[in-house]
Structure 1
Amino acid sequence: MALYAEHLLTFAAVARSGSLTAAARERHLSQPSVSTQLKLLAEAVGEPLFTRHRQGVRLTPAGEALLPHAQALGRALEGARQFASDLQDLQRGRLRVVASTTLAAHVLPRPLAAFHTRYPAVTLDIQTGNTREAVRDLLEGQADLALIEGPVQPFPEGVQATVIGRDVLRLILPPGHPLDRPHLEAGDLQNLKVIWREPGSGTREVAEGVLRQAGLTVQPVLELAGTEAIKEAVMSGLGAAFVSELSVRRERAAGQLASPALALPGLERDLTALTPEVPSRTARALLADLLALREEGL
């Protein structure tokens, strides 16, 4: 006959109190229900578990031997309840975020710091990758939240998308480049030598799509992984590039990079947070911080 957890918990309550009546109160059961559970448990074990006396009940040798297992079950259940409570209050847990490189470097740090201040017991696991890699990790269950800047339309089934801001791609040039002037027309970019991000980069996909739509052809010089490498290559005079405005504010202000105004529509893009349709509590908490940042303006 099968053993049932409820019967073992009732058995432990009776052993603790020495009384069926007290155990019934503790377990929110009727006394006949307690008696029935004890009878079924004894039948499953194959030995009597209690003997009755005027003050209540006393454990038999079989009951004494079974009691540690019933008590361990009670402790495990209480531990599980406490674990669930801690998770709900974010007193423990884990947050796995995968972010495309621009967002990881220029958007994520501030809300992540605020999150860690409020929930210091939550373990943070932050990975970076391009947009394609971020979406893949989310779909494979390796991340609770993905932050992307590339076009992923339509979004995969089972994924919830939330726009957390807007970004603009800027054409960057080394100072003194032939196109280093205040304003450029789209046609000025024809046959321009361009340094591209690696395939899968959201920045690259947006820029290539805009150039294609405008009927422009550029000359690829090389591909580099990461915006920092792109900026260094441009400053070294290897060519021009398209990067997020968020990533070049300091260099533009310092005069290390030129970035003319460009009459080429379509270089704006959404910054998007992706979660499963039922996100974890940790993901929801960080998403709230990202949306608050959106209200302030990225």
Structure 2
Amino acid sequence: MPLPPQVTDLTSFDLLLSVARLGSIGQAAAEHRISQPAASARLRQLERRLGLTLLQRTPRGSVLTPTGALIADWARAVVDAADSLAAAVQALRISHESRLTIVASQTLAEYLLPAWLVALRARHPDLTVTLQAANSADVAARLLADRADLGFVEGPDLPPGLDADTVAADRLTVVVTPTHPWARRRRGITPAELAATPLVSREAGSGTRRALESALRQQDIAALAAPLLELSSTTAIKHAVAAGSGPAVLSSLAVSTELAAGTLTAVPVSGLPLHRQLRAVWLAGRRLTGPARDLHAIARRPR
């Protein structure tokens, strides 16, 4: 049931209490940081809404009428309760903004977020940050369950209920051990060869795997061969490829060190665009505030 309109303007009741305490509309106006004419107008509006005379105005100041004193006594508890509510909300907001829970797909969690969090720490030195690594499907699920403040994904698709914004670009790279036959193919391989070859892969639902499947579908290739191995971390995949298990498709961010060192070799794929967008994601309709907003801004900065 909505509040009666006569009592919804707590500011006017608070102003009345100030007049009762200070004995002057002018002093009450100064305390509320408004002009005396504005304070007088607000109090007259309150009297009209209530249909009661609350103040007796004299050349020496203003005093509450008996009716005004009674209204002030009743209003004091309401105004005090509103102050308590405001203080509690502020404390809750400060407490919430002192913690930040992030969930990110592995490539972002391992190769980009550490530097972003260092920059965030410079802005919020007392902030407690929890970073959870998960595949892109799990990132979306945790956000939809309201178990994180902000997410980052590399997958091409998102379920309804999330807003997203591109923060960085990435490229997928086919990698093999230098002794693999593909390493000697100067022209690389075709998309069909890649799709027909069992790969060392992340689990279904990972952003990298979904991005590769999406790129192949654009070439009218319906499905990948069954994985040679399914491993839950990028590091494990790199070790398996280096040991000669088979090819893998990984983020260029994840394999730059190994390619530079020569422990892995990149294989071009003719006619297959393997670029993808990395995105920040959050609950649809929720405005990013505080540290979450700042981290989003940091992630969007040109590199």
Q: TM-score range by the shorter chain?
A: 0.7 to 0.9
| Equivalent residue runs for 1:244-255 within 5 Å | 244-255=251-262
* Residue 181 (structure 1) aligned to one of 179, 184, 198: 184
Contact 1:174 1:237 in 2 (8 A): yes
Q: Which amino acid aligns with 1:229?
A: A
SS at match of 1:134: helix
Q: Percent identity?
A: 32
- 1:195 corresponding residue in structure 2: 200
The match for 2:134 among 105, 129, 141 is 129
Give the aligned partner of residue 79 of structure 1. 87
Once the two structures are TM-superposed, the CA of residue 93 in structure 1 deviates from its matched residue by 4.9
The CA distance in 1 between the partners of 2:179 and 2:45, in whole Å, is 91
In 2 relative to 1, CA 214–36 (structure 1 residues): closer, same or farther, beyond 3 Å?
Answer: closer
Matching of residues 29-108 of structure 1 within 5 Å: 30-31=39-40, 34=43, 69=77, 72-73=80-81, 75-76=83-84, 79=87, 92-108=97-113
Give 1:106 deviation, angstroms. Answer: 0.9
Matched, 1:23 2:28: yes
Q: 1:14 aligns with which of 16, 19, 38?
A: 19
Using the TM superposition, give the Cα deviation of residue 143 of structure 1 relative to its aligned residue in structure 2, in angstroms. Answer: 3.3
C-alpha contact (below 8 Å) 1:175/1:258 kept by paired residues: yes
Q: Is the 8 A contact 2:156 2:214 kept in 1?
A: no
What secondary structure does 2:272 align onto? coil
CA contact (8 A) 1:10 1:38 kept: no
Residue equivalent to 2:115? 110
Query: What TM-score, normalized to structure 1?
Result: 0.73
Contact preservation (8 Å) 1:185, 1:264: no
Q: Deviations over 1:128-151 (max 9, x none)?
A: 211112223333433343211111
1:146 to 1:10, Cα distance in 2 relative to 1, 3 A: same
Gaps of 5+ in 1: 44-48
In the alignment, the residues of structure 2 paired with residue 223 and residue 195 of structure 1 have an alpha-carbon distance, to the nearest angstrom, of: 6
Find the aligned partners of 1:284 and 1:32 in 2 and give their Cα distance: 40
2:172 counterpart residue number: 169
Q: Which runs of 5+ in 2 are unaligned?
A: none
8 Å Cα contact 1:9-1:70 kept in structure 2: no
Query: CA RMSD of the aligned region, Å?
Result: 4.2
For 1:25 and 1:39, locate their aligned partners in 2 and report how far apart those are by CA, in whole Å.
Answer: 23
204, 222, 237: which one aligns with 1:230: 237
How far residue 247 of structure 1 moved from its aligned partner, in angstroms, is: 0.5
Which residue identity is paired with 2:189?
A: E
Residues 225-267 of structure 1 deviation map (CA, whole Å, 9 limit, x = unaligned): 1212211222233222111110011122222223233325122
